[in-house]
A and B are shown apart, each in its own frame.
Chain A
Amino acid sequence: MSDWLGRAVSRAEQVSDWLSPQRQASLALLREAQWPTRKTEAWKYTPVHVLADAEFAAAANSELAAAEAIEGLNSIELVFTDGVLQSELSQLPEGLTIVPLADASSETRQWAAEAFSAAKPSKHLFGLVNDVLATAGVIIDVAEGVSIEPVIRIVHRIGKDCEAHNRVLVRIAKNASVTVVEDFSGEEKSFNTGYAEYTLAESASLEHYRFALQTGAALSVGGSHFNLADKAQLNSTLVGFGSELSRLDVDVNHTGEHAFAKLNAIYLLDGNELFDLHSTIEHMVPNGTTEENVRGIVADHSRAVFNGRIHIHRDAQKTLAELNNRNLLMSRDAEINTKPELEIYADDVRCAHGATIAEIDKGALYYLRSRGVSKAQAQIMLSFGFINELVDQMPNQVLAEWLRPQLRQRFANMEVK
């Protein structure tokens, strides 16, 4: 156990609220937990020593610039600064309930306590940390048959030298639909764990975005986890920029038949950044479908880690699952480690995965240069095109428009070698 984890455990022992019974189980696991080393499979390529003896201030309510609204986006903004909810919650559309974790009514507490750690597996070390320390967060409930028009945007800002733990619990009832954006940014030295759990009832539909855009010295570990009931639909887009330590775990559990999950992920890394994405798709019942597309561009001295696991349980017949991971390696000093895994215990399934790593196609580069495009410009065009295919697939075009200039900026900054 590291110094930091030791302190986290002793702080957790002081936490007392209505979730305490749920937190106890995680605390017990955490006390037994081993600090990840290179031999820990889930952390093989991602060192966490920067965190081992780091010290941060607890939620300090630091003075941070207000989060910018996204132009043209019809949204309900939930802004957390150092883990504390700053937004007023008023005039919510009918059928939508949003309450801060601490203010949950007894009725909400009942289902939320059950949903707590139901979608997120206990294997995630920092998920356990979040279990025991996240006193801040929000509970979102969408009533049966309701379609929520505005996008719920949860913005996380963490101040310099601060540590924050945030938990989001979302329940989407039968035939309901909603769009949720989890937005993380900032580059100051800080540490946060942000975990979100989504429970989709029968025929519920979720459009999900996670923008893990923290860079620089920000240390960030988090996850988005989904339980899909019969015929539930998930369309998720993840975008990662990478920082000194940036790790994202995504778990999709097909607990009901005929559920559909589409997962698109993009990572763009530069400088000394590290981004680690672990995704696990659990097909527990028959007739599920998963499409996962992950693309990355890795430049300068940065490192990308991708581990995509598809697990077809015994009897999960007629499952269709596909995973594709494509990477562009832009520099001699950058590094990509990818591991697409299949674990299959049912015979009547169609499963495939693929992974590629290469540089920008020389032929394409030559074609553009022969038409007078500078090398730098040509590289931006080609790498942007590589990523843009997935950006185009984002169902919300306002968000896509907001994202594109940020991506373009990032390509422009990437050092061309």
Chain B
Amino acid sequence: MTEQINQAINREYEAGFVSDIESETFEPGLDEDVIRRISTMKNEPEWMLEWRLKAFALWQKMEEPEWAHVHYPEINFQDISYYSAPKSMADKPKSLDEVDPELLATYDKLGIPLLEQQMLAGVAVDAVFDSVSVVTTFREKLAESGVIFCPISEAIQEYPELVKKYLGSVVPQRDNYYAALNCAVFTDGSFVYIPKGVRCPMELSTYFRINEMNTGQFERTLIIADEGSHVSYLEGCTAPQRDENQLHAAVVELVALDNAEIKYSTVQNWYPGDENGKGGIYNFVTKRAVCHTSAKVSWTQVETGSAVTWKYPSCILRGDNSIGEFYSVALTRGMQQADTGTKMIHMGKNTKSTIISKGISAGRSNNSYRGLVRMGPRADGARNFTQCDSLLIGGQCGAHTFPYVESKNPSAIVEHEATTSKVSDDQMFLCQQRGLDPEKAVSMIVNGFCKEVFKELPMEFAVEAGKLLEISLEGSVG
């Protein structure tokens, strides 16, 4: 039975093609000059350059973190190119008609149509290709309700006050090794501002694609939801199939001001490397949200890609009555390694957090949940519930749980539970007895295991995530 399941896991990576697009790419290497060049390319004001250089100075003094349950060869940061953009983007196209058709074709192939009339109604897309944002759709329509949705490189020039105030306010430059590196070399990403009391009229989404060889992608996303506003944001990512590892070190900062609500969903499908662990993306990401009074931030992630994942979307529950949520499905197979989880820092009174984490390991992969729940001394009446379930498929994989629970407040209640199980012979027998083939059976059992998380995803994404898991498990039974 185990063998059947294992075979089901071997499938092709569908987004592994390379687009033939002429690019302008920096020589590999990292020093102050490179940072100055990035800043010049992006037409940045002086303060931004200084901010980058300060981060670079900090980064040079920091050490790579080693505490995660992942192993990979040392990264040579001088072998990476820190900027790559399609040549056709040099003169910024003014409308979609001017965008290189090859670029549009790439997104079309990935199932992300950028032509607005073809779009699923109600989703605006910012497409980031290597180091630049190619196109952002529905900008005018969003502007009607005062919503700003644009590449962060534009926001630095057009809304410097907002950027200055919030950039680095959630994830400071010195936060950690990869965040510091991102602060120094980030190239593009999305910027969102939802004005007071506005409910964003459509879903916002960013689609990241790494195309060029030997490049790293360092994107930066900043979302500010002003008092009483509401926004739902989706993020997707893919990369070509290559034998070399590529680095992706992103920073995402969310600011939810009083009574605001941000829903952030990710479907991460970077190239995971082949079944022997060759190639794949190193995904070292820092994501964090600050919740002010009565604000709510909800992270939902479906992680199926990347060779190594190191990612802990967190909530700092600063304001009283604020709410943090984390729903995660992490699937590892082949030689993938994932160390992912969340931090819920309860500072305000009556703050609440829910953590639901589902880890599925197959093949020779390792899947770890690492989380922190901290009840501060002022967090009266705070409440946390954590549930981490692991599903093991095959005897060569690993599933691990490392939850840190810290409480300094007697009126706070913390509950953590974790279980581990496998796709049992009984379950498989029952399904097969009713005429399902083994592959369908595994897929059904896994989908059931993940249901609690999938129901948190926006509808289009839930369908995509379900399909992704299905494809991921395809061939894992036999």
A binding-site residues for B, Cβ under 8 Å: 41, 314-315, 317, 327, 329-332, 334-359
B-chain residues with CB within 8 Å of residue A327 when the two chains form the complex = 407
**A351 vs B414: C-alpha distance in the bound complex, in angstroms?**
21
CA distance A331 to B412 in the complex (A): 11
Interface contact B418-A353, CB-CB below 8 Å: yes
CB–CB B407/A354 < 8 A: no
Interface residue tally for chain B (C-beta within 8 Å): 36
Q: State which of B21-29, B44-52, B389-397 sits at the interface with chain A.
A: B389-397
Q: Would you call the interface of chain B mostly helix, strand, loop, or mixed?
A: strand
A336 near B407 with CB under 8 A, answer: yes
* CB contact between A347 and one of B2, B375, B403, B414 (< 8 Å): that residue: B2
Assess the A353–B422 pair: CB atoms within 8 A. no
B residues in contact with A341, CB < 8 Å: 400-403
Q: How many Å lie between the Cα of A214 and that of B466 in the bound state?
A: 56
Contact in complex: A356, B410 (CB < 8 Å) = no
Contact B420 A355 (CB under 8 A): no
Choose among B407, B411, B416 the residue with the greatest number of A CB atoms under 10 Å from its CB. Answer: B407
**Contact between B395 and A346, CB atoms less than 8 A apart:** yes
The one of A332, A349, A355 in contact with B416, judged by C-beta atoms closer than 8 angstroms, is A355
| Chain A, Cβ-Cβ closest to B375 | A357
- Cβ of B406 and Cβ of A336 under 8 Å apart? yes
Contact of A355 among B395, B414, B422 (CB under 8 A): B414
When the two chains form their complex, are residues B400 and A335 in contact, meaning their CB atoms are under 8 A apart? no
B residues sitting closer than 8 Å to A (CB atoms) are: 2, 67, 375, 377, 390, 392-422
Add 15 more A-B contacts to A332-B408, A337-B407, A347-B395 (CB < 8 A): A329-B407, A335-B406, A335-B407, A340-B401, A340-B418, A344-B420, A345-B397, A346-B395, A348-B395, A349-B420, A353-B418, A354-B415, A355-B403, A356-B414, A356-B416
Q: How far is the CB of B425 from chain A (nearest CB, A)?
A: 9
Partner of A350, one of B393, B404, B420: B420
When C-beta atoms are compared, the residue in chain A nearest to B393 turns out to be A347
In the complex, how many angstroms separate the beta carbon of A315 from the nearest chain B beta carbon?
Answer: 7
Bound-complex Cα distance A356 to B377 (A): 17
Sorted from nearest, which 3 A-B pairs have the closest CB atoms? A347-B392, A359-B410, A329-B410
A11 to B28, CA, bound (A): 54
Instruction: Decide yes or no: A352 and B395 within 8 Å by CB, A331-B410, A339-B404, A343-B400 being known contacts.
Output: no
Cα–Cα, bound, A345→B409 (Å): 36
Would you give the shortest CB distance from B478 to chain A, in whole angstroms?
A: 16
Residues in A with CB closer than 8 Å to B406 are: 335-338
Closest A residue to B362 by beta carbon equals A347
Cβ contacts under 8 Å, B398 to chain A? 343-345
**What's the nearest-Cβ distance from chain A to residue B409, in Å?**
7
The contact sample of 14 A-B pairs, CB cut-off 8 A, is A41-B67, A315-B395, A332-B377, A332-B410, A336-B405, A337-B404, A338-B405, A339-B403, A342-B390, A342-B399, A342-B400, A352-B418, A353-B401, A354-B418
